[in-house]
């Protein structure tokens, strides 16, 4: 069996993001404007562990995006994924989460023999977190979201821990499954020197929509009027006092006045 | 296509805070569209929750009371929302953006072949369309988002909308059967560990949060004491979680939780951009830090430059005096 990890290339977490005439662009002070979506790093690590410890034959990294997303896939290969596939087609630009889910599901079917598809819980640009469940619906697989640990995989079933707003749940499901992971699940490894060398030489297949039998559908969840968050109002007030006790008293007075206590 | 639906999350006979907010927001959407508001109440022993949904402003309640629905499994709740929507064709489905609500919105939209907008922090109705303001790029930008398919599925971020007020209204819920039998549900929940009465970060009205400045696991103790006095939840920066000083469930920020309390006290937190992403919509931010140049002071309403191990206990003592 194979595992697939679906990744997205996003602006780096430190990027300054701006909007001009409705177009979003970003710059990074560190000079690396794009990264693998930070949540996906945990999914990549888990996919590699499936290959190392749970008998998966391949850990395939899958990304839908423009050609610059090859960079994200090379990071996956450098970390230890065995294969990478880019689905890139101008026709797919502007897909909403359901459109993206249909494309990824078609690619997963083409990869074949996949029992587990892994995702980060959400991407730090779109921030919906809808894609993993929607991929599961399109494939007819069981979604297991917010997974913080994989307890066991055996005899065609999987047991995981889910970290939800209510608490921690232990859930068993039959394979195949789509899993979205949270940070607690593991500590992602750094790419090895050998891995980076291998990845730099890798030729990553580029599938078009036609190659996987996907078609572009109009997005039904739409964005308009993107704008920067207005700066927080008001200036900071530094709380003074001759003693720490007086400072504390002055601050507590302010907080009562603000009616937040 | 008519009617506004709101999914009412409940556990142990009580409506979750996020669904009280969703009921409040949904009432406004229903009034804006001039359509009735229907609450969906699924679970086990949901009688009191159905009654509460009427009281909180629903015109009608569709309830389902079944053991398969007790633990909030997506594979039980999703098919029922979808089945009802296929039969009755609502115009709008609103859901609180909890972990469960987010999954349910994604499921419902996929099965109904429509769009879903996540995490609205404000909504208005324009020409029959729900226009949601939502943060994107981890809160660095905002956008207006809307659905062109039907129904319009929108999730609402916690603590962004006022909770629905009690109306005194009563009514009789329409009870329906579960959509899927237990043996057709592909997941079994074999263990559950609740929060044991602890306030969850995403629901919290007040948060006391610690960063690298706390110095070690025991450094969270004074913060915990302050949080206890205030009835606040305990937060933490990524650095402290990565160092193993406090469990991940406390992490606020880009790879942790997004919170929006009335009061956020940041002690020993420098305020990296990734941390700000998780807490910048807090109403009043207090920063306590040794370093006067820490970026957190750019975001805060009140600041104290100094040693958190002196200031935090002094605050705890002062609050104790004032609150008793």
- A166-214 pLDDT, tens digit each: 899 999 999 999 999 999 999 999 999 999 999 999 999 999 999 999 9
pLDDT at res. B49: 98
| Res B198: pLDDT | 78
- The residue of chain B with its CA nearest to that of A131 is B106
Q: Interface pTM (ipTM) of the complex?
A: 0.96
> Does residue B283 surpass a pLDDT of 80?
yes
Residue B174 — pLDDT band, cuts 50, 70, 90? very high
Reply yes or no on whether the pLDDT at A217 is more than 90.
no
Separation in Å, CA of B57 to nearest CA in chain A: 25
CB A79 within 8 A of CB A193: no
Q: Which residues contact B151 (CB under 8 A, 6 or more apart)?
A: B1, B5, B85, B89, B90, B91, B92, B93, B112, B114
In the predicted model, what is the mean pLDDT of residues B207-220?
Answer: 98
Task: Find chain A residues with C-beta within 8 A of B306's C-beta.
Answer: 244, 247
Query: Are B286 and A228 a contacting pair at CB < 8 A?
Result: no
- The residues in B 76-95 lying below 8 A from A, measured between CB atoms, are none
Do B148 and A24 lie within an 8 Å CB cutoff? no
A255/A257 Cα distance (integer angstroms): 5
Chain B positions in Cβ-Cβ contact with residue A129 (cut-off 8 Å): 102, 106, 118
Exposed e or buried b for every residue in B57-86, given b needs 16+ CB within 10 A?
A: bbbbbbbbbbebbbbbbbbbbbbbbbbbbe
Please provide the average confidence, as pLDDT, over all residues in chain B. Answer: 96
pLDDT interval class at A21 (50, 70, 90): confident
Cβ of residue A149 closer than 8 Å to a chain B Cβ: no
- For residue B289, what are its two tokens? 């830090």
Task: Please state the rounded mean pLDDT for residues A39-61.
Answer: 97
The minimum CA-CA distance between B47 and chain A, rounded to whole Å, is 21
B116-120/B152-156 β-pairing: parallel
Interchain pair B189, A169: CB under 8 A = yes
Provide the whole-model pTM: 0.96
Q: What is the 3-state secondary structure (H, E, C) of chain B?
A: CCCEEEECCEECCEECHHHHHHHHHHHHHHHHHCCCEEEEEEECCCHHHHHHHHHCCCCEEEEEECHHHCCCCHHHHHHHHHHHHHHHCCCEEEEECCHHHHHHHHHHHHHCCCCEEEEECEEEEECCEEEEEEEECCCCEEEEEEECCCCEEEEECCCCCCCCCCCCCCCCCEECCCCCCHHHCCEEEEEEEECCCCCCCCCCCEEEEECHHHCCHHHHHHHHHHHHHHCCEEEECHHHHHCCCCCHHHEECCCCECCCCCEEEEECCCCCHHHHHHHCCCCEEEEEECCCCCCHHHHCCEEEECCHHHHHHHHHHHHHHHHC
The answer to whether B314 contacts chain A (CB < 8 Å) is yes
Which pair of tokens denotes residue A110?
Answer: 């083409």
The length of chain A, given as a count of residues: 261
Q: Cβ of B136 and A159 within 8 Å?
A: no
Quote the CA–CA distance of A88 and B315 in Å, as a whole number. 56
Element (H, E) at A18: strand A16-20
Closest residue on chain A to B146 (Cα): A222
Instruction: Look at residue A215 in the predicted model and tell me its pLDDT.
Output: 85
Q: What is the pLDDT of residue A141?
A: 98
């Amino acid at each position: 069996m194979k595992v697939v990890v679906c990744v997205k290339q996003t602006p780096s977490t430190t990027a300054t993001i701006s909007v001009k005439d409705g177009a979003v662009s970003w710059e990074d002070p560190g000079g690396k404007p794009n990264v693998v979506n930070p949540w996906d790093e945990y999914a990549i690590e888990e996919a590699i562990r499936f290959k190392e410890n749970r008998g998966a034959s391949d850990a395939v990294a899958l990304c839908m995006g423009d050609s610059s997303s090859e960079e994200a896939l090379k990071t996956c290969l450098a970390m230890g994924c065995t294969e990478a596939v880019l689905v890139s087609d101008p026709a797919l630009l502007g897909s909403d989460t359901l459109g993206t889910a249909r494309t990824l599901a078609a690619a997963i079917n083409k990869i074949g023999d996949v029992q587990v598809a892994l995702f980060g819980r959400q991407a730090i640009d779109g921030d919906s977190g809808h894609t993993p469940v929607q991929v599961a619906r399109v494939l007819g697989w069981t979604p297991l979201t917010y997974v913080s640990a994989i307890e066991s995989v055996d005899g065609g079933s999987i047991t995981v821990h889910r970290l939800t707003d209510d608490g921690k749940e232990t859930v068993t499901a039959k394979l195949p499954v789509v899993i979205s992971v949270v940070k607690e699940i593991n500590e992602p490894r750094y790419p090895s020197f050998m891995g980076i060398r291998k990845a730099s030489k890798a030729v990553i297949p580029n599938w078009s929509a036609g190659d996987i039998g996907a078609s572009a559908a109009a997005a039904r969840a739409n964005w308009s009027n993107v704008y920067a968050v207005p700066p927080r109002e008001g200036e900071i007030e530094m709380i003074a006092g001759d003693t720490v006790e007086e400072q504390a008293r002055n601050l507590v007075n302010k907080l009562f006045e603000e009616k937040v206590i | 296509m008519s009617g506004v639906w709101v999914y009412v999350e409940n556990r142990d006979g009580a409506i979750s805070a996020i669904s009280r907010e969703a009921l409040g927001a949904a009432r406004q959407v229903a009034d804006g569209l001039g359509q009735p508001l229907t609450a969906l109440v699924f679970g086990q022993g949901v009688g009191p929750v159905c009654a509460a949904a009427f009281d909180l402003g629903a015109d009608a309640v569709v309830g389902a009371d079944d053991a398969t629905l007790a633990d909030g499994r997506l594979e039980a709740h999703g098919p029922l929302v979808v089945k009802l929507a296929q039969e009755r064709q609502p115009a709008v489905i609103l859901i609180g953006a909890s972990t469960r609500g987010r999954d349910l919105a994604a499921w419902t939209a996929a099965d109904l072949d429509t769009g879903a907008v996540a995490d609205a922090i404000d909504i208005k109705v324009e020409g029959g369309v729900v226009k949601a303001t939502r943060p994107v790029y981890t809160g660095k930008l905002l956008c207006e988002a809307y659905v062109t398919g039907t129904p319009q599925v929108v999730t609402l971020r916690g603590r962004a909308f006022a909770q629905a007020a009690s109306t005194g209204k009563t009514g009789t819920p329409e009870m329906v059967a579960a959509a899927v039998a237990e043996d057709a549900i592909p997941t079994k929940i074999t263990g559950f560990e609740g929060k044991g009465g602890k306030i969850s970060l995403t629901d919290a009205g007040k948060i006391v949060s610690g960063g690298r400045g706390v110095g070690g696991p025991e450094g969270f103790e004074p913060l915990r004491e302050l949080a206890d006095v205030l009835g606040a939840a305990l937060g933490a920066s990524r650095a402290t979680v990565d160092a193993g000083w406090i469990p991940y469930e406390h992490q606020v920020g880009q790879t942790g939780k997004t919170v929006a309390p009335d009061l956020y006290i940041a002690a020993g937190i420098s305020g990296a951009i990734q941390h700000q992403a998780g807490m910048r919509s807090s109403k009043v931010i207090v920063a306590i830090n040794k370093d006067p140049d820490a970026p957190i002071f750019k975001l805060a309403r009140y600041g104290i430059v100094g040693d958190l191990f002196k200031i935090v206990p002094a605050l705890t003592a002062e609050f104790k005096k004032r609150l008793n």
